[in-house]
Amino acid sequence: MSEWKITYRGIVYPWHCDHMGHMNVMWYSGKFDEACWQLLATLGLHPARFAQDGTGMAAVEQHIQYKRELKAGDAVTIQSALLDVKDKSIHMLHKMVQDATGEVAATTVVVGVHIDATIRKAIRLPDDVRQKAIHMKEREMTALQEVCE
């Protein structure tokens, strides 16, 4: 889908697999985390911005649904979209696709909160980031409805 942003591409390595021979849950979380940072960077939330503003992002909630097994050697792509943009938080949706089959292996919803890095408290998202995120979300509404069905 053109509305989704590709935020991760990689391979399942043998050391990602557990005793059952499929990718262990810790690696799903890690790959989804990398996708989050890519998506946030497209909105203008990147390390240089955080250093300049004295801010950061913190994941406060994550829900993963495992749909199919991934095994060593599988190539995967994560596509990401925005579910909601609030005053201090961004709700992200990611789907991990097994490239050879096109099947969705897992999905996750992550809530990230914008924080003041010094006092570690939630603060309002910068206006330019909020506007870019709202615009992105509006463009993605059709794609999100398809995933949720």
pTM to 2 decimal places: 0.89
Query: Among candidates 101, 71, 75, 87, which has minimal Cα distance to 6?
Result: 75
Residue 44: CATH number of its domain: 3.10.129.10
Q: Determine the pLDDT at residue 17.
A: 97
Q: Determine the pLDDT at residue 139.
A: 75
User: pLDDT tens digits, residue range 72-105?
Assistant: 999 999 999 999 999 999 999 999 999 999 999 9
Q: Structurally, how many domains does the chain consist of?
A: 1
- 140 lies in which domain range? 5-148
